[in-house]
Amino acid sequence: MERDREMDSFTDGNLASRRDLLLATAGGLALALANPARATENKMSLEPPMTSVVPYVEHRISSGGGVVYAREYPGQDPAFVMMHGFPDNLHIYDYLVPYLTRAGRRVVVFDFLGFGQSEKIAAEGYQYTFKQQVGDVAAVVDALKIDQFVPVGHDSGGPCAANYALDHPDRVAWLCLLNCYYSDSPTWRLPEIIEVFGDPWLRELARAFLSSPDQMSWLITFQDKHFQVNMPPELRARFDGIVRPIVDGNFAGGAGPAFAQMTAQVRESVAYNTSRLPDVRRFTKKVNLIWGVMDPYLTSVTAAAIAATYPQSAVKPVDAGHWLMIDRPAEVAQLLLTSG
C-alpha cells in the first residue's frame, strides 16, 4: 500500500500538463505512422519468422478494468513470459519465439492494455500506467497458472519485469532484461521523438509538428535514422522491413492513447524506480541483461550501470540494435536458453 501511494504521488505531478498535449499528439502520430505510402515503402524482401513447432493457444484475460490478449505456447517450465515496450506489441517476439519452442520451452507473449490486440479502454478518465502494466503481468501468469517463470522485459517493459520480480521474487526463476532502462542515470537518454512529445517545455514545437503531416513524417523518419545510426546495412533492412511495420500497425490499431499516456509518465516512473534501488540491491535472484550493443540510446554503458545495482547479474552483449530479438533471434534465444 505504501508503494502504491508513492507511485500515485509520482504520477500526479505534472502529468496533467503533458496529457492534453500527448493525447492530441497520439492522433497525429497515428495518422503519420499509418500513412499508406510509408507502409508500401517499408515492404522489404525479408524472411518470415520460422514456424513454431507447437501452435499457440489464445487467451483473453481480465486485468485492470480491461482485457489483455495473450498467446501461450505449451512446453517445459519455467516459462518465458515476454513483455514489449512502447510503441510496439507482442509481435516484436515473432522471430524469437520459434527458437524457444523448438527447444521445448513454454513461452507466453502478450499485449499490455492499450496495445496490440489487447483492449483499448474508452472509459472517461481511464489512465494507462506503469503500475497497471505490472498488474497485467500478474493477471496473465495467475490466469495461466504459471508458478515460476522468467520475466523477459524489453524497452519500457524492462521496468515492468524488474518491478514484478521485486514484488514477487518467489514467482521468478530469474530475470532477463533486454535493452531497457530503470532508475535515474546519466548512462541512457530518451529518443528524440519521446523528448518532443513528453516534455511540457517543448509544447509549441510539438504543436508545430502536429500542424503539418509532412513535418510529422519528417520527424518519424529522423527518429528511424537515429535508431539505425550504428547498424550495418542488413540490420537497417530488418528495421525498415520488420520493426517499422510492427510499430506502424500498432498505431493504426489504436495504440496512440496508451503510447501518449505512458510516454508522459516516463520521468515519474524513473523517479519511482530510483526509490526502489534499495530493494534492487537486496534482490537475490539471478539477473541477465542480454543487450544489443548498437543501440544509440540504451547503450552498453547503460547495461553495465543496471547490472551494477543487482547482487547477481551478468551482461551478455549481442551485435544488434535496440530490437535485438528481431536483429539476432537465434543468438538471443541461445542466450535465454543457457542463462538460467
For 69-113, the pLDDT digits (tens) are 999 999 999 999 999 998 899 999 999 999 999 999 999 999 999
Contact 192, 223 (CB under 8 A): yes
Range of the domain at 226: 2-337
Instruction: Please name every residue paired with 154 in a beta bridge, in sequence order, or none if there are none.
Output: 178
Mean pLDDT, residues 136-147: 98
Q: Is the pLDDT assigned to residue 43 strictly greater than 60? A: no
Task: For residue 12, give the C-alpha cell.
Answer: 500526479
Strands 149-155 and 76-83: parallel
- What gap in Å lies between CA 131 and CA 236, rounded to an integer? 34
- The pLDDT value recorded for residue 210 is 65
Grade residue 117 by pLDDT with cuts at 50, 70 and 90: very high
Q: Provide the edge-to-edge strand list for the sheet that holds 149-155.
A: 57-63, 66-73, 105-110, 76-83, 149-155, 175-180, 287-292, 313-318
pLDDT-derived band at 45 (thresholds 50, 70, 90) equals low
Q: What is the pLDDT of residue 205?
A: 83
| The pLDDT of residue 82 | 98
Distance CA 79, CA 290 (A): 17
pLDDT, greater one: 209 or 237:
237
- Mean pLDDT is lowest, of 5-14, 27-36, 153-162, for 5-14
Mean pLDDT of 159-163: 98
pLDDT for residue 309? 98
Task: Judge whether residue 2 has pLDDT over 90.
Answer: no
Question: What's 247's domain CATH number?
Answer: 3.40.50.1820
pLDDT digits (tens, 9 = 90+) for 259-275: 888 888 888 999 999 99
- Is it the case that residue 28 has pLDDT exceeding 50? no
Is residue 9 over pLDDT 60? no
Q: Rounded to 5 degrees, what angle do the CA atoms 137, 239, 133 make?
A: 15
Are the CB atoms for 114 and 86 separated by under 8 Å? Answer: no
Residue that wins the pLDDT comparison between 34 and 69: 69
How far is C-alpha 240 from the geometric centre of its chain's CA atoms? 18
Contact status, residue 307 vs residue 314, Cβ threshold 8 Å: yes
Which amino acid is residue 222, in one-letter code? Answer: F
Range from 78-92, 155-169, 251-265, 323-337 carrying the lowest mean pLDDT = 251-265
Grid cell locating 36 = 499508406
3-state secondary structure of 155: strand
Structural domains in the chain (count): 1
Residue 17 has pLDDT above 70, yes or no: no
pLDDT for res 339: 84
* pLDDT score at 168: 98
Q: What is the mean pLDDT of the chain?
A: 87
